[in-house]
């Protein structure tokens, strides 16, 4: 969709980059349980204020672990005061070069009874012969369950006590959550409330999805210890079921009544956290075009600390990439964050010598080295201590003062499995993206809170060394889990690395939450996205090709988030407190005598938020669907606007934010005394 001549962008494109509406949400009740049906699955199963199951759904994963999207039809919902029944059909179809077309269909029945039992059944049939890595149920326990006491019933009848891990576990499955047919999890130690789940039709086990920043512990079927991919013959029947219920099942009418009570939203600034804000940077644009004068001017307004470039010394195009990156940093007046992707074993020495030669030719200023394996994939070996020592010695010859950081160019689980010779390192690095397993807006927003757990777990590995998060992207940049060739992008579709939400309010709101949790957990630095283009913070002068909703020469809403944070570069963070962090978050920035709160609506609904802890007045600026077009087309003019807010007697004022909207509140102050 070209938006060059559009007088007004469609509201949904402004919100989340697509013109079509989001799947409908249907609120349901099963006795004391509240839950939601949406797009073929169950979400947010709650007992009172406590979430006991985050999501239950059926997944079809191809030989490269890519999710084959379903088409849902014939949905029927019978909703009653304390029970329900939902039925529908689903069909997953996708081309597969080696074994024909994936074609799998199933019938669903979901019921909720007045005594609090929720049952989800699927009965499926393979319509073609294909390769798969997984077909069946996934049930997600919320990440907030970390540390909870559990009882695991194994398929042989044994019952074993365990705790969900506090720090992120790299083990797959997490011991002893393997060979499961049932699980009891204590959700409230004070009142001895438990949730129970029972599985049929396959063998189930659990992994810690926080390794990929998913906000859950995932219970899935077909153990990973079995060989994959598996050939599924046409006509194969797959039937499974999951049941969930609370124990005890009966609760007082007062508690059941309280479950429907709406909760007001509020945010406020908490105590200082005692560490500096992460230094912020952007990645070099993957489209390869040089920056225009206007792009350079706008990027300089972000207060960036570095520009990331991926250097592959074994690649013949490497010298041109280094030269272009060096030119970009000189134009922006910032150093490089140089991600050096080193070949394994005997090729490392030659590649590093070539790197040093071209560094001496080009002479870039470098903020830090990030040394990672050139190719990372599931089962690959990390860089050896000998290779890391060689890299450190070679790079020190260019500039001994530049920090030497090593780790992974992809998900945290690769850092967990890496050998870290800390005596050689000044820090560890990892990358983040929220779309390893789920792709809907709500699931992506949930991942931001887990980024804090990732940094805390990385700091546990790193000791007193820095944790560098680079890069943070909305989509994975490559698939490290593929077991075969990756399919080409079909005509009319965006490349696998591109998400249309990049240009929308969604990315701005998500980034406020991401930066909040990285800052509050003590990340040393963070690199977001790219400079320009459909993976960047602003569109190129010529625009991106369809179907990306391009607005040539405009900035994206996320540009303003980074500009707001960049004005506090070198400052620190205080705790941003929220009455409901699943719906609204606050990032508190401080520098000298200045203070700023960024408030993000994480939902698809408009929200009214009370900003507490004020006396007198404050200045604010709102970025939502009413103001975002001006912010995109005329960012300089937009950023000059201010609205004065006056606190009520209770010391608060209210902000109204549309879906995925962001507000900035600045420098609250006592009103000047009047004279005469």
Q: Give the residue with greater pLDDT, 672 vs 214.
A: 214
CB burial of residue 405 (10 Å; 0-12, 13-18, 19+): buried
Q: Give the residue with greater pLDDT, 187 vs 439.
A: 439
Residue at token pair 């508690």: 255
Q: Tell me the whole-structure pTM to 2 decimals.
A: 0.93
Question: What DSSP string runs through 440-493?
Answer: SHHHHHHHHHHHHHHHHHHHHHHTTSEEEEEEE-SS-SS-TT-SSPPPPPPTTS
Tokens of 188: 């409230």
Residue 72 lies in a domain: yes
pLDDT tens-place string over residues 341-382: 998 767 899 999 999 999 999 999 999 999 999 988 876 778
The answer on 367 and 310 residing in a single domain is: yes
Question: What DSSP string runs through 305-355?
Answer: -EEEEEE-TTSTTHHHHHHHHHHHHHHHT--EEEEEEEPSTTHHHHHHHHH
Whether the ω angle into residue 173 lies within 30 degrees of 0, i.e. cis, is: yes
The answer on 356 and 222 residing in a single domain is: no
Residue-range definition of the domain harbouring residue 368:
278-567
pLDDT tens-place string over residues 152-164: 999 999 999 999 9
Indicate if the pLDDT at residue 469 is higher than 60. Answer: yes
pLDDT tens-place string over residues 586-625: 999 999 989 999 999 999 999 999 999 887 788 899 999 9
pLDDT tens-place string over residues 49-62: 889 999 999 999 99
Task: Using pLDDT thresholds of 50, 70 and 90, give the confidence band for residue 251.
Answer: low
- Mean per-residue pLDDT for 461-475? 97
Task: Using pLDDT thresholds of 50, 70 and 90, give the confidence band for residue 189.
Answer: low
pLDDT tens-place string over residues 65-90: 889 999 999 999 999 999 999 999 99
Residue 502 lies in a domain: yes
The answer on 494 and 621 residing in a single domain is: no
Considering 567, 600, 624, which residue would you say is the last residue of a domain?
567
172-181 burial by CB neighbour count: b if 16+ within 10 A, else e? Answer: bbbebbbbbb
Closest CA to 608 of 645, 655, 550: 655
Indicate if the pLDDT at residue 138 is higher than 90. Answer: yes
Residue 119 lies in a domain: yes
Residue 74 lies in a domain: yes
Query: For position 99, what pLDDT does the model report?
Result: 57
The answer on 34 and 181 residing in a single domain is: yes
Indicate if the pLDDT at residue 16 is higher than 60. Answer: yes
Indicate if the pLDDT at residue 675 is higher than 60. Answer: no
Question: What DSSP string runs through 50-107?
Answer: EEEEEEEEEEEE-TTS-B--EEEEEEEEEE-SS-EEEEEEEEEEEE-SSS-EEEEEEE
Task: Using pLDDT thresholds of 50, 70 and 90, give the confidence band for residue 485.
Answer: low
pLDDT tens-place string over residues 503-535: 999 999 999 999 999 999 999 999 999 999 999
β pairing state of 134-142 and 50-61: antiparallel
Question: What DSSP string runs through 530-576?
Answer: EEESTTEEE--SS-PPTTS-B-TTPBPHHHHHHHHHHTTTT-EEEEE
- Mean per-residue pLDDT for 226-230? 92
Indicate if the pLDDT at residue 495 is higher than 90. Answer: yes
Closest CA to 424 of 450, 404, 441: 404
Considering 545, 567, 589, which residue would you say is the last residue of a domain?
567
Query: For position 131, what pLDDT does the model report?
Result: 93
The answer on 465 and 562 residing in a single domain is: yes
Residue 229 lies in a domain: yes
Considering 567, 597, 621, which residue would you say is the last residue of a domain?
567
Q: Domain total for the chain?
A: 3
The answer on 527 and 655 residing in a single domain is: no
Cβ atoms < 10 Å from Cβ of 313: 24
Task: Using pLDDT thresholds of 50, 70 and 90, give the confidence band for residue 674.
Answer: very low
- Mean per-residue pLDDT for 25-47? 95
The answer on 638 and 506 residing in a single domain is: no
- 493 alpha-carbon distance from chain centroid: 22
The answer on 370 and 313 residing in a single domain is: yes
Residue 14 lies in a domain: no
Closest CA to 571 of 600, 546, 547, 594: 594
Query: For position 670, what pLDDT does the model report?
Result: 44
- Mean per-residue pLDDT for 638-655? 85
8 Å CB contact between 232 and 103: no
- Give the mean pLDDT of the chain: 92
Query: For position 97, what pLDDT does the model report?
Result: 56
Alpha-carbon span 339 to 316, nearest angstrom: 17
β pairing state of 466-472 and 525-532: parallel
The answer on 172 and 100 residing in a single domain is: yes
Residue 13 lies in a domain: no
The answer on 226 and 251 residing in a single domain is: yes
Indicate if the pLDDT at residue 171 is higher than 50. Answer: yes
8 Å CB contact between 68 and 102: yes
What's the angle, vertex CA 585, arms to CA 581 and CA 591, rounded to 5? 140
The answer on 282 and 193 residing in a single domain is: no
Indicate if the pLDDT at residue 98 is higher than 90. Answer: no
DSSP, collapsed to helix, strand or coil, labels residue 117 as coil
Query: For position 618, what pLDDT does the model report?
Result: 85
Query: For position 417, what pLDDT does the model report?
Result: 87
The DSSP 8-state label assigned to residue 508 in this structure reads H
The answer on 295 and 164 residing in a single domain is: no
Alpha-carbon span 395 to 322, nearest angstrom: 15
Percent of the chain with pLDDT over 90: 82
8 Å CB contact between 586 and 625: no
What CATH number corresponds to the domain at position 553? 3.20.20.80
What CATH number corresponds to the domain at position 612? 2.60.40.1180
What CATH number corresponds to the domain at position 102? 2.70.98.10
Query: For position 645, what pLDDT does the model report?
Result: 80
Phi, psi of 420 (to 5 degrees): -115, 95
Residue 339 lies in a domain: yes
Alpha-carbon span 61 to 209, nearest angstrom: 16
Task: Using pLDDT thresholds of 50, 70 and 90, give the confidence band for residue 254.
Answer: low
- Mean per-residue pLDDT for 640-661? 87
Task: Using pLDDT thresholds of 50, 70 and 90, give the confidence band for residue 249.
Answer: low
């Amino acid at each position: 969709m070209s938006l060059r001549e559009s007088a007004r962008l469609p509201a949904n494109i402004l919100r989340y980059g697509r013109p079509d509406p989001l799947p409908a949400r249907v609120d349901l009740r099963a006795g004391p349980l509240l839950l939601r049906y949406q797009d073929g699955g169950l979400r947010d199963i709650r007992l009172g204020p406590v979430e006991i199951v985050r999501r239950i759904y059926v997944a079809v994963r191809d030989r490269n672990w890519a999710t084959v999207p379903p088409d849902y039809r014939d949905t029927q919902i019978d909703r009653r005061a304390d029970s329900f029944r939902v039925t529908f059909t689903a069909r997953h179809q996708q081309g597969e070069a080696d074994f024909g077309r994936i074609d799998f269909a199933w019938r669903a029945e979901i019921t909720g009874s007045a005594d609090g039992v929720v049952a989800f059944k699927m009965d499926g049939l393979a319509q073609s012969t294909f390769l798969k890595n997984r077909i069946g149920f996934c049930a997600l326990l919320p990440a907030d369950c970390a540390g909870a006491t559990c009882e695991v019933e194994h398929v042989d009848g044994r019952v074993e006590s365990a705790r969900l891990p506090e720090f992120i576990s790299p083990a797959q499955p997490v011991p002893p959550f393997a060979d499961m047919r049932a699980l009891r999890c204590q959700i409230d130690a004070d009142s001895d409330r438990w949730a129970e789940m029972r599985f049929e039709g396959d063998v189930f086990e659990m992994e810690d999805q926080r390794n990929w920043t998913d906000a859950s512990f995932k219970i899935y079927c077909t153990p990973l210890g079995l060989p994959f991919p598996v050939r599924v013959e046409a006509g194969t029947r797959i039937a499974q079921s999951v049941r969930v219920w609370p124990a005890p099942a009966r609760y007082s009418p007062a508690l059941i009544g309280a479950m429907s009570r709406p909760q007001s939203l509020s945010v406020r600034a908490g105590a200082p956290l005692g560490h500096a804000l992460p230094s912020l940077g952007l990645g070099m644009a993957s489209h390869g075009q040089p920056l225009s004068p206007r792009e350079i001017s706008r990027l300089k307004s972000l207060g960036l600390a570095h520009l990331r470039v991926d250097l592959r010394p074994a690649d013949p195009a490497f010298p041109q990439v280094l030269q272009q990156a060096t030119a970009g940093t000189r134009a922006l007046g910032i150093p490089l964050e140089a991600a050096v992707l080193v070949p394994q074993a005997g090729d490392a020495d030659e590649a590093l010598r070539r790197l040093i030669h071209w560094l001496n030719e080009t002479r870039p200023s470098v903020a830090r080295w990030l040394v990672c394996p050139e190719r990372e994939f599931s089962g690959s070996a990390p860089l050896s201590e000998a290779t890391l020592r060689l890299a450190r010695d070679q790079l020190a010859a260019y500039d001994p003062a530049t920090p030497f950081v090593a780790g992974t160019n992809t998900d945290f689980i690769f850092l967990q499995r890496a050998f870290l010779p800390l005596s050689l390192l000044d820090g560890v690095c990892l990358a983040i993206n929220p779309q390893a397993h789920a792709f809907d807006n709500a699931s992506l927003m949930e991942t931001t809170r887990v980024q804090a757990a990732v940094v805390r777990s990385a700091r546990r590995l790193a000791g007193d060394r820095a944790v560098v998060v680079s890069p943070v992207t909305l989509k994975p940049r490559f698939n490290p889990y593929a077991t075969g060739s990756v399919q080409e992008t079909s005509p009319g579709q965006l490349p696998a690395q591109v998400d249309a939400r990049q240009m929308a309010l969604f990315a701005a709101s998500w980034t406020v939450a991401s930066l909040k949790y990285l800052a509050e957990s003590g990340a040393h630095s963070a690199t977001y996205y790219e400079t320009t283009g459909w993976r960047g913070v602003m569109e190129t002068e010529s625009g991106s090709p369809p179907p990306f909703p391009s607005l040539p020469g405009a900035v994206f809403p996320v540009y303003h988030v980074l500009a707001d944070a960049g004005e506090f570069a070198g400052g620190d963070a205080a705790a941003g407190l929220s009455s409901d962090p699943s719906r609204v978050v606050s990032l508190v920035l401080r520098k000298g005598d200045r203070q700023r709160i960024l408030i993000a609506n994480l939902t698809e609904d408009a929200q009214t938020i009370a900003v507490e802890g004020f006396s007198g007045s404050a200045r604010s600026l709102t970025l939502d669907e009413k103001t975002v077009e001006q912010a995109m087309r005329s960012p300089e003019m937009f950023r000059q606007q201010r609205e004065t807010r006056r606190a009520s007697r209770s010391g608060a004022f209210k902000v109204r934010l549309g879906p995925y909207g962001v507000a900035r509140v600045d420098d609250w102050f006592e009103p000047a005394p009047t004279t005469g």
